[in-house]
Amino acid sequence: MLPLEHHFRYHPPLTLTKLKPFSRANSRVSLPHIDNSFHRFNPNPCRFRCPISSNDSLRFGLRVGHRASWVCRSTGEPDSAADSGEKKTGSSSSDEDADSNRRKGGWWSRWRRWRWQPLIQAQEIGVLLMQIGIAFFVMRLLRPGIPLPGSDPRSSTVFIALFYAAVLAGLLHRFPVSFSQHTAGQIWNRKSGPSAGTKSSEQGETITFADIAGVDEAKEELEEIVEFLRNPDRYVRLGARPPRGVLLVGLPGTGKTLLAKAVAGEADVPFISCSASEFVELYVGMGASRVRDLFARAKREAPSIIFIDEIDAVAKSRDGKFRIVSNDEREQTLNQLLTEMDGFDSNSAVIVLGATNRSDVLDPALRRPGRFDRVVMVEAPDRIGREAILKVHVSKKELPLAKNVDLSDIACMTTGFTGADLANLVNEAALLAGRQNKVVVEKLDFVQAVERSIAGIEKKTAKLRGSEKAVVARHEAGHAVVGTAVAKLLPGQPRVEKLSILPRSGGALGFTYIPPTTEDRYLLFVDELHGRLVTLLGGRAAEEVVFSGRVSTGALDDIRQATDMAYKAIAEYGLNQTIGPVSIATLSSGGIDDSGGAAVPWGRDQGHLVDLVQKEVQTLLQSALAIALSIIRANPAVLDGLGADLEEKEKVEGEELQKWLRLVVAPTELATFVKGTQPPLLPSQTGS
């Protein structure tokens, strides 16, 4: 047995395994000192010496935490060089570099805890036991008295059996590696692994607040969290605690996920992202287990940020209003989430960010202070915000723009677009320019991209022919004539800019483009609402006049929009004199219930109000159609000329369109309906 001399300043329990001999006389290594009391490395070295008399020295492996290993290697130098510390192994220096990287971040930096790992994984032991069981089973079958196919030497199947046995032996030889490294590992990660369903931002690009625009109010709310993670002493000395949770509420595409990543990027902390739908499994208890693993991982990597996207998937209210069927798995997951968010230490540097577009269905226990202390509304950007978002995406893509491109004009054309819509718009404009082999992106490319986003993609092969083409052309011309009459009566209303009868994806056979106003509007007045109703029904009115009452189904979408607008005007906005300022939805639900409990309907009067609302909606829409018919009859030459021009060219815009629309006149009935307090009676109503 070879002598082994070693000396340590501290003697931690070490595992030395003999790996492989190599030919050197003396080998030595410098190892970092392990301090069990603080669970971190001490830079003071500890040395051990392996003087070996033979030509072959031993190679040892040391397994400490994270499977790190240090191996004795030959230095080929006298012992004095090793004692003086002039030579150090590469493994030690690399670990010191890794430790210095772990210290980055700020006040919260802690040394990573190192733990002992087993030399043999559990799944490898399972595979080994399975192989032993197969071997015992085969040996039992080979005992005398158990007949097997091919046991007769005269049978030709004995050679086939030997061939199968050889193949089986080869598979068993390779089976442990493939199973333990792939299949078993995947099952463990998918079922109960701490990283199941989570992603860390360390593997992707770092996102900061400079990469986000158009949501300045939300950024200001989240900057306070970043400031706490950077400089906690400023708040701790005043007795303030950080918010344990922040709920981001907004429409899809407004940038909730991007804001969460920016918080982690600004604070330079681990970002653990997951979707709430990944918590719900077939087997009861799996969701709660995943929640525990998620928070355990976040506490190990503290300070850190947990981001749960679409949190309403597991956090719906349990009061019965939004609950159709009982789901024990979902409730257990929610209870575990509530427990974990309550179990945080007051000084814990783990912050939970949740995102949803349905905050009204969340459980009240989740929204209370102490869990989600702050609710940040992430709304669609305004005109200035849209322009800033466009600038961010153009600069990020390094998009070469033509001189006629003004991003403020593009921002005015994209009212209601979210950040995701604008990012897709910039990409679509670049693709359209690339298809035509352009060097720069022109304004026309952005305009076409906006039209594709609003109305759909033009179909190149599907063309209208015959009577259908004539009907669609007069339908779109009717929208243009009626819309122009309304715009002349109401100052500040946008005018029609483009007509097209090229079919588009989504089922639209024609397209009338009326751009939004240059400034964002937050209110809609009653005269503007009546004007929109008349414009929506202008296409149906043109079909009735031109084709003598033989109308088509082309007004399907127009009628849907008009009905929705008329119902909201009467049942929600209170713009009807007969019903008055009453919210029918609140009456139907029994009033507003802030406690989250089930509301009791008010009973008998509910059915009467619903019937009255339906009657008033029908009256309003019939009146709007009557006004549209009067406008069409007052402008027959414009309708025929514009309709024939559109039928021939399939697309009319610019000055060619405006020369027809300048001839439109607005009848007096339109002013009575739009600005009056009482809609005019239809001819069928005067005789009743």
**Residue 530 lies in domain:** 466-592+602-686
With respect to residue 650, please indicate whether it lies within any of the assigned structural domains.
yes
- Residue 371 burial (C-beta neighbours within 10 Å; 0-12, 13-18, 19+): buried
Mean pLDDT of 385-407: 89
Please say whether the beta carbons of 90 and 48 come within 8 A.
no
pLDDT grade for 560, boundaries at 50, 70 and 90: very high
pLDDT of residue 371: 83
Burial call 194-217: b when 16+ CB within 10 Å, e when fewer: bebbbeebeeeeebebeebbbbee
3 state SS of 264 = helix
pTM score, whole prediction: 0.63
Report which residue type is found at 676: G
3 state SS of 332 = helix
With respect to residue 114, please indicate whether it lies within any of the assigned structural domains.
no
Share of the chain above pLDDT 70, in %: 64
Higher-confidence residue of 575 and 57: namely: 575
Q: Are residues 341 and 251 in the same domain?
A: yes
Please say whether the beta carbons of 21 and 45 come within 8 A.
no
**Nearest alpha-carbon partner for 664 in 538, 525, 526, 512:** 538
d(CA 498, CA 480): 9
Q: Are residues 504 and 646 in the same domain?
A: yes
Q: Are residues 403 and 323 in the same domain?
A: no
Task: Tally the residues of the chain.
Answer: 688
- Is the predicted pLDDT of residue 392 greater than 60, yes or no? yes
d(CA 226, CA 666): 58
pLDDT of residue 123: 55
The segment with the largest mean pLDDT, out of 384-388, 493-497, 509-513, 517-521, is: 384-388
Q: Are residues 55 and 175 in the same domain?
A: no
- Is the predicted pLDDT of residue 205 greater than 60, yes or no? yes
- Is the predicted pLDDT of residue 183 greater than 60, yes or no? no
With respect to residue 444, please indicate whether it lies within any of the assigned structural domains.
yes
d(CA 400, CA 423): 16
Residues 93-145 pLDDT 10s? 444 454 444 444 444 444 444 445 555 555 566 667 777 777 777 676 666 66
pLDDT of residue 130: 72
d(CA 176, CA 172): 7
With respect to residue 299, please indicate whether it lies within any of the assigned structural domains.
yes
- Is the predicted pLDDT of residue 409 greater than 70, yes or no? yes
Instruction: Respond yes or no: is residue 572 known to be catalytic.
Output: no
3 state SS of 640 = helix
The CATH number of whichever domain residue 511 belongs to comes to: 1.20.58.760
pLDDT of residue 120: 52
With respect to residue 111, please indicate whether it lies within any of the assigned structural domains.
no
Q: Are residues 164 and 301 in the same domain?
A: no
Q: Are residues 173 and 301 in the same domain?
A: no
With respect to residue 112, please indicate whether it lies within any of the assigned structural domains.
no
- Residue 256 phi, psi (nearest 5): -65, -45
Long-range contacts for 491-499 (Cβ within 8 Å, ≥24 apart)? 492/517, 493/517, 493/528, 493/531, 495/661, 496/657, 496/661, 497/653, 497/657, 498/451, 498/651, 498/652, 498/653, 498/657, 499/642, 499/646, 499/651, 499/652, 499/653, 499/657
Mean pLDDT of 5-31: 41
pLDDT grade for 680, boundaries at 50, 70 and 90: very low
pLDDT of residue 479: 93
- Is the predicted pLDDT of residue 597 greater than 90, yes or no? no
pLDDT of residue 632: 94
Mean pLDDT of 629-644: 92
Residues 263-311 pLDDT 10s? 888 888 888 888 888 777 656 667 788 888 888 888 888 888 888 888 8
Q: Are residues 514 and 626 in the same domain?
A: yes
- Domain boundary, last residue among 142, 164, 191: 191
With respect to residue 113, please indicate whether it lies within any of the assigned structural domains.
no
* Catalytic residue from among 266, 301, 331, 476: 476
Q: Are residues 259 and 177 in the same domain?
A: no
Q: What is the mean pLDDT of the chain?
A: 72
- Domain boundary, last residue among 353, 373, 393: 373
- Is the predicted pLDDT of residue 338 greater than 80, yes or no? yes
Mean pLDDT of 26-35: 42
**Nearest alpha-carbon partner for 352 in 341, 363, 360:** 341
Higher-confidence residue of 573 and 229: namely: 573
**Nearest alpha-carbon partner for 480 in 457, 504, 452, 511:** 511
The CATH number of whichever domain residue 425 belongs to comes to: 1.10.8.60
- Domain boundary, last residue among 171, 191, 211: 191
The mean-pLDDT minimum among 84-88, 187-191, 634-638, 660-664 falls in: 187-191
Whether the upstream peptide bond of residue 303 has omega within 30° of 0, thus cis, is yes
Q: Are residues 147 and 33 in the same domain?
A: no
Q: How many domains does the chain have?
A: 5
Q: Are residues 340 and 404 in the same domain?
A: no
Sheet strands side by side (includes 651-653): 511-513, 498-500, 651-653
DSSP string, 102-159: HTTTSTT--PPP-----SS-HHHHHHHHHHHHHHHHHHHHTSTT---TT-STTSTHHH
d(CA 329, CA 333): 6
Tokens 């964002």, residue?
Answer: 520
d(CA 249, CA 355): 6
- Is the predicted pLDDT of residue 394 greater than 60, yes or no? yes
The mean-pLDDT minimum among 6-10, 246-250, 369-373 falls in: 6-10
Q: Are residues 606 and 471 in the same domain?
A: yes
Please say whether the beta carbons of 333 and 291 come within 8 A.
yes
With respect to residue 105, please indicate whether it lies within any of the assigned structural domains.
no
Q: Are residues 522 and 624 in the same domain?
A: yes
